[in-house]
Structure 1
């Protein structure tokens, strides 16, 4: 909880919120403030959710929030059910709201796109009976048009997303285009210079035609290679489709072989019973429950707002009623009627079976809905894949594709680093050229001043022009002869290379033909063995899954039987004890032995207790009557005890005095009515 709160505070303090919160402020938020914060975050994602929640009814706000969370694909935690989650949204509980805030704030950009799409792609809540009503043609046409427009919008948005992804490297693309244009201009200039040099040579037209034919043959060879690759991909796709169809055929045959007419009829009867239970029992109960909940919610909505004190009062009443129910149940269990105990046991068994039946029906219904959803998603994925123009790569093809992609990625990285080095070197060379041009300009100025001073102005330029013209003439003459010789030599080399390659490839081609045939045979055998292996593996996997389900079912059944056994054993011991007690009581009642019955024993004990109570009451009565006299007598005895204690103390004191006087003889005499000691 603390980690969630820290994450929420960090995300709310960033753009676009900038709340300036801390953990203490967030923890001090009440339910209403927390719900307003959740609504503000939803409004950032979907502007239609903006507003003050204080001016909105609780049921309308809850319905709007739940609908928005459903569009944003939020799933509640697995440890919370639907009712508690809905109640947490209504009351603004922190354990419910905090995970929602974490989900929304962590995926803000993606959820904005999803909220935008949900505005147009979430289907309207039209009842199924209206959609399947063939008499209403206008509604059917409107619905089909609506679905078609949604699909068109989805396709346009997907194309737009792809274009945005492709337009990220615009600057780099512009740079590449500019570089390619410069290279194109350089190539055009080179081609033009080569054309001007070669136009005056003999056999120029024939050599040009040979070069054009060679280029066309190369392009044609590349096209043929591309077509071969495309045909191979199509063949692999067809083989994969064939394997899937074979597997489906094998599964259908296996399913048909394992199922007899009786088993099919039993399966249909089970499905019929299940559907009958869903239609006749489960769905009406759910409908009745939903109606009751709707009625309760309407009643609660019409009532005035409930304060926190009212909630505490209602919770106290619920606890009080629950305690009363528990006391009644305990009292009923203490009565211990055997017939009612058996009936209770049977009722418990019936309720357990009904709960299991309802759980299984819900599981079947959820699995059906999940299957429909998966089939729908599978159809969408297949349609998307068909639009992209390909199939999903599997197995070895996917590995080869990954290897090729890695090689291309490495080559791309190497070329990119080389390009960066060339660009840096180009910058250095440009800078060097600029410096040299500057130095050349300074030297040229000095040379011009020196020529003017000597009276030979323009001598350097004239000499450079003459050298350039002579160099160009010599280069042109040399290139003219060299181009013709190179072309003839190139043609001869090409012919010789072609002849040599044919000579070298002839024995290889002869050896390759039987190897190709052998390869085809091995591929056919491999395909058959692979299909057999796939079918066997699929069958074993299916059997394994069936056995696992059977083992799980048997384990659950065994646990149920064990629990049932221990329960019956305990009930049997209880009943046996009660039966033994009843038999002993009956035997004692009939007088089969001298042992007293429990009835007589309890009656005797009751009589003794009654007699004891009577005697105690008599004693209590006597005590109450003689209380004052006894109290007076007790006080008199206490005074007498005090008097005797005083006399005893005086005698002891006199005796000690006599001992101090060391007179061993003493005599005692009685005078009058008092006892005294004479020393």
Structure 2
């Protein structure tokens, strides 16, 4: 019931109703308002019902609504023969009657609109037989039936044209573009004919080009057939393997089977199936029927209030007390014979429960087996259609092993990710705390600077440092980019030279091939011209047919425009009233939001001022206190100490910078002298190595000469 109400409220809040209801306001509507909403929904389906129900009698309203609902083929829930109770509920505007009607109408709104529109033209008039004996009335009725049939055909054609996605404007644009392309192609064909006429043997070249194209198409079809035959062969091999495996399994099953075992198996299956059919399934059906009857009974009853629930709880308590009393009486008058029978009854009930549980397990196993067989059949069919390979047992084991390894890795990575997330949360919290402390310190520093008359000193200092850092980074980037650009220019120049040298022989071959290609292109364009002429003829025939259909649809569109104007005039008045109410509601909401914002702003400002007063009192207390340790804790003293330390540090750094600047030129000269000395020593080392090598060569030559003299 709540789902039904929620659906009705959602649909009424949307276009074209825009009622702005919620579940409480919609449920609290009186019967007249509920009937007016029902009338508005019916007016959306059929505009003839757009009116205020207070301006007509209740009998006329109910007659009109019932006629429209009957035309829309609405069937009230419950007993269909009880029409009087349905009419009485509709007259009184009762929610059990109106809510199902609204739910049914809002579910099928576009379909019902179409049905109401068609009913005005397709409802057949019942003429008595004695009036049909007149020739004029008979001819008129036949003409009316013919018009109804023609309306059906025209409506179907109109729906097809609407759903086809084509429009006359688009077709005209396409035809104009095609005519322009046709003119351009004719001009090109004329130019190409003039060029080809001067070429000798152009007809022979055309025949050869046509033959070449035919052979290429034949080659493509043959390759396609070859691939299809390969796929079919592969699928046949797969089917053969599966059939062999099934035959092997059947032979193994038949080898172990004998008539006695088969008979026993069949008897067991018959017993199980007979138990399922005769005992288990009827019980389940009976339980389901009882639950359905109970739910139907609950749904047919009206909504209960708190008093009804309390009364039911009291009845339940009384029934529980009576059951307890009966159990006590039974225990008091229990005889020993019943005690002996209870043991057997308990055993029988235990056996029945076990039997039922085993039957349920068997049914579940059968369902799982059937689903597994369906899955296997579907997968085998998919494999046959796709031509893929079936995964074997060893491959499946290998895949399972891989998946297990990956799952272990996944768990480890997941644990690492959770640890990193926890660490990230801790770091984020520390960052927030540090930011808060930094903000408090900055605020106190700004107040102290304002007191001293040097407000903005820290900001300007930080800005200067930031600008200097940015300038140094930009200088470094400029130097790097200039070096990169020079290297890139060198690489590009070298690549251009290499490409030119590599493309020189290809260009010479391309010139000779281009001339042959031009001749073949001329031949193909002649053939394309003839094809385009046939295509344009077909398109002109299509355009002529679309013009005829446009003339037919024009008449129906005129009637649609008239009905649309009536609907727009009716909705304009309702829209004006709704817009006024929306403006008033918007103005009131803006006022409330402004007041709420002002209230929250004042509260937050008061809290901020209280915190500032508290901090100022603590600072004053620490500053006025006679204890030197307490004075040192004051923010002023801390910042004065930090300022003095930073000033001393800046003074030392400036002195160091001054010394570096003064000794820069001398140090550069010294470095140059050292580099010159290094080059000089390197030259001496090289000359020494050369002299040593020359002396060793001379000795070798001398020794060789002595050896020759000895020989």
What TM-score do you get using the length of structure 1 for normalisation? 0.31
Of the two, which has the highest radius of gyration? 1
Higher relative contact order (CA 8 A, sep 6+): 2
What TM-score do you get using the length of structure 2 for normalisation? 0.30
